Chain A
């Protein structure tokens, strides 16, 4: 429990510019989106695009989606920088091929990590693509690019706050724009030569694992029947046995081609990788409005509510989408009420 609380402190308190007296908490930037994890994951919940809750909400990040952008900025284009460094957003006007990502909610991640790989492989028999990173199955992130929570948390520290770790030991200075000034900036490296020590990073991971899966807020058995009937459950797999316990995350943790409308924009039009998204878990839909004060959904927060999110489905989900559109009023009402209760 004490480790969880340290993890919470590192998660919620702002990181500061180095060098600082509080050396466990320095090393922010030089480029960053936010100064703390909490800035985007408010209430451990889902972020919203700017303007929904706060005019400058940092919880939407922009990823480079063309070779030229990557060359200029690296993987992520950040809005903020320490004094003396030009924020990358200042250069953005002429470029368009970016991909927006909203901060996902964090509840239940520990349970998702425990799902055996064999289950994910079995899921792929019904369709969908397993994401392999360096030969290992990756199950976390909007594009299933992170293998485990340690990797996911370290990536977020690096990409979003400019905090180096054993997993990501270099400051986010890649990209030719402002690279020199960025690399010359003082960092907050400690005895391990990185800004967050491995055992401290593990405390944040322990915190993530301690956030219990969301509990449904209401039941709608008729809606659940519709959910299965129109085959939502084929990708949003309902349940797993994990260490003797049943969990109901509603995901197969696989990548699916979701069609052109959901695809990231890239110079070549929509490529397969731009259309591929990992099935997001549906648990937590019921408490989102209470915890986060909004009902925005999908990877960039474009959907105002559950119904809009369904209507954005395409690609492999087209048959289910068509079935949804043909539902009777009462079936639709039950389905939406079921989903809003998860």
Chain B
């Protein structure tokens, strides 16, 4: 258990679930099948994210090289637009779902624990990369110019070399976080700060062609793209079947321990992370840009994909964004239904309720929600100001989902 989860758990201990003997015979074959399918989902989801990151990296190269070579502005602008679309869809939609694989010290957010036991990841000195890929809030003025300071940031300080090592070093300088890498840094460099109450940021294409330090901005963006790919490769490798890695150790764990991880991550994501940290806090702090993808105004996608991550785990399924291929296998839902069908039904209803609350943000009904088809109709930053009831509805339905997941964990006799 890492320190962060220790705090969260001890601190919000009111939600704790106590282990108790279960009045049913455990179906070990089903439990093992669920664990195996979960590992397959993780591998599928990270593979999909990696494909998206590679697409993004290729687009970044195409865009920045054309900008460097002085191609006509209309073409460069077109490529910049295509890069943004790639970030929004191919890169972010799979990654958002993969965030469910945090919260139990698995590969993505791994930190060594000094407990006398050497785990596989500790034995290879593995370092979690979540902070380098998806940390928030971004330290914008640490990276590039911002409104009010035209010379801010690493990009405008020609004395700092722009290399992967340098960026990783500066992302957590002196053990502290100055977030300057990952998805949101790329987002900032593509969209720029968002000063529109009704649309995303509008970074001019000239930032990459004729503006001061355009060369360094191109290099910074390229470096972020390739760094993201290598970080995702690192995590994906740990879930790959048939090799010596984290997955092998994971599959050998006691199935109740793993089911505990699954519920911890579903509950943490639905409750503390998505409901509280990402949505309710934004309402309470009364700030339009208190949202995770504030430059591109795609926070609704973050909310939906984070939610889908929870749903994927419960129903044991993952749909590849890039290939539309579907992975499906034994699920937590099967297990809950085999012991307490009414509990499974309540959970299914809770999932539907969340979807009913999210659907209006895409301008569709819950039945028509589709990651690959729908476009955001109501952005989160607008809703925070004008449609607070609709934002609150997501909070309320996630709260119900959180509660039902905790009840299901208790039904299964899990010690979280």
Interface residues of chain A, those whose CB is within 8 Å of chain B, are: 2-3, 5-6, 8-9, 13-14, 16-25, 34-36, 39, 42-44, 54-58, 80, 83, 186, 200, 203, 211, 291, 293
Contacts and interface: CB of A to CB of B under 8 A. Distances in A.
Contact of A14 (B139, B277, B287, B295): B139
A135 B295 CA distance: 49
A13 B289 CA distance: 15
B258 interface: no
Given A23-B287, A43-B6, A58-B176, A18 B137 contact: no
Interface centre among A14, A18, A80, A200 (most CB of B within 10 A): A14
A58 B7 CA distance: 19
A6 B279 CA distance: 10
B24 interface: no
Given A5-B272, A24-B287, A291-B6, A17 B142 contact: yes
B284 A21 contact: no
Contact of B141 (A20, A34, A54): A20
Contacts, number: 108
A18 B146 CA distance: 9
Interface of B: 3, 6-7, 10-11, 114, 136-142, 146-149, 152, 157, 174-179, 193-194, 272, 276-277, 280-281, 284-285, 287, 289-290, 294-295
5 contacts: A16-B138, A22-B137, A22-B289, A22-B294, A56-B175
Given A6-B284, A42-B3, A19 B149 contact: yes
Contact of A16 (B142, B284, B294, B295): B142
Contacts of B281: 5-6, 9
Given A19-B149, A56-B175, A80-B174, A24 B277 contact: no
Contacts of A8: 11
A58 B176 CA distance: 9
A34 B173 CA distance: 11
Contacts of A9: 276-277, 281
Given A5-B276, A43-B6, A44-B11, A22 B287 contact: yes
Contacts of B141: 16-20
A16 B139 contact: yes
B178 A14 contact: yes
B174 A23 contact: no
A35 B178 contact: yes
B280 A14 contact: no
B287 A186 contact: no
Contacts of B157: 83
A5 B277 contact: yes
Interface centre among B3, B6, B174 (most CB of A within 10 A): B174
A34 B114 CA distance: 25
Contacts of B277: 5, 9
A119 B146 CA distance: 53
Nearest to A28: B139
A3 B152 CA distance: 34
A21 B194 contact: yes
Nearest to B286: A24
A69 B295 CA distance: 44
A25 B285 CA distance: 10
